[in-house]
Structure 1
């Protein structure tokens, strides 16, 4: 195992250490720059742009995780029964997740980007005037979140379907004999028994959402007026457009710290659910 471990350390450990060194300096893509200690991290906490991006990242992640989970679990429960063509539906429902995000974002841009796009035209026909899905800051944030749910629910559907197959049907039969309603069966049998898989899917989707660069950048570019700029988009802009490598890497490290804390909390929830 030694050669593989050494290779992994070189491929992952060295870039991580180098990035940590960069976060402590005020450099650019060509020069490391002078040593500034923790000034880049302190600057982030004092930067209103950073907090605005953090707020949108939190919203984007919460909607992406719980919205896609609710829809995915609902579809998994629906298709678990004797639905004609359930396998065909499952394959078709995987398309938003399977199709490359470049294709999906281009399609959504065609649907909502301009006032002559199909969705704004339909909204205007229904009596809603000047619905600018990507030009209005609030509508742009809603559109990006909805788009994330749309491309993510198939993953949650797969995770939920796999967890539901492990639930013994005799448990539901015994619950029905005891007079349990459908809601009671769902809250007291289904959710507790699939809790470990649910927490794992939440951990993975949280990581996917926080680190999701192409979904936001291809759809809105972080605009309008920075309303849909997440932390990963902000870090990209700071490093590759403003050429402030130290500050951009510091933002990335702060993102990583939050992800680690969230993952540890969810992992402990998994352990409690399996006891």
Structure 2
């Protein structure tokens, strides 16, 4: 009705005036009553807030104190300021661990996302026993990581394992997947993709379920190819869920201790030592609490930066 006068009732409704009656403003809730309601809600939530502060804030503050002191697991020790951070950042071991953490995270995030998205799109098609197939694909995520790591150790750890024997039969010689530094890194990254792709598959399946199939039919009528539909329709429509899954998987990968520790223990020769494994060794094996906690805080800082960057991308998607 642009360019035309609105009916009198709609004009009054827009101004907050009663449609029928005397033209007086609609009654509003007294401000004092709103304050009382907010105070009541705060009082109900106060026990939970106090509990959360005790569980999360106190350990965080105590860890912050440990990171600036030269102490151990029992005593805080003397105050040393930022010396622990400077010492950690000046060691080659930290940067080697940071590089492997970056490789491990990038491979884990984008590798599991690519596999999960491909399987999610496959499951959208009509395949025989699709429900059973989806349940079987969830097993790597459902099975405890101890069981998965034990299975992978059986597959690759020794010369008598199935994969080294298969590689020797093909003609690659005596391949030791967990004894060679490069092969150990590749094996750990593949293992991470293996146990993580079901999570990505579920995230992408839920995102694809919200996409209207009529959009694809219209694109097909217009002559769009499958790749063009994927690039111009599927990816933009699932972008929000994609960024959320990247944030979550980045946090999972950077903080992933059991996957690496159970499979390689950080070896060989520290080739697969990530920052979280390095922090564990520094605190619980070398009993150097300050440098170990400093490593953990540096990891947290990087995770916050990455999360903020990806969250801004999510906001851009919402605006568009």
Equivalent position to 1:221, from 222, 247, 265:
265
CA deviations on 1:174-205 (whole Å, 9 max, x unpaired) are 10011000000000000000000000000000
Higher relative CO (Cα under 8 Å, sequence separation at least 6) belongs to 1
Per-residue CA deviation, residues 42-71 of structure 1 (Å, 9 max, x unaligned), is: 111101000000000000000000000000
Match of 2:184 in 1: 140
Other-structure match for 2:291: 247
Max radius of gyration: which structure? 2
- 1:59 is the counterpart of 2:99: no
Residue 49 of structure 2: aligned partner: 5
User: 1:221, 1:33 → 2: CA distance?
Assistant: 30
Cα distance in 2, alignment partners of residues 88 and 268 from structure 1? 38
Which residue is 1:75 aligned to?
A: 119
Correspondence 1:112-191 to 2 at 5 A: 112-191=156-235
Q: TM-score, normalised by structure 1?
A: 0.99
Match of 1:25 among 69, 75, 78: 69
- Count residues with an aligned counterpart: 275
Distance in 1 (alpha carbons) for counterparts of 2:63 and 2:269: 29
**CA RMSD after TM alignment:** 0.5
User: Which consecutive residues of structure 1, in runs of 5 or more, have no partner in the other structure?
Assistant: none
Is residue 84 of structure 2 the alignment partner of residue 40 of structure 1?
yes
> What does residue 104 of structure 1 align with?
148
Q: SS at the partner of 1:237?
A: helix
- Once the 2 structures are TM-superposed, how far is the Cα of residue 259 of structure 1 from its aligned partner? 0.2
Q: Segments of 4+ in structure 1 off by > 4 A?
A: none
Whole-angstrom distance in 2 between the partners of 1:265 and 1:86 = 37
Could you report, residue by residue, the CA deviation over 1:239-269 in whole angstroms, capped at 9, with x for unpaired residues? 0000000000000000000000000000001
In the other structure, the counterpart of 2:128 is 84
Work out the CA distance in 2 between the residues paired with 1:124 and 1:253.
Answer: 44
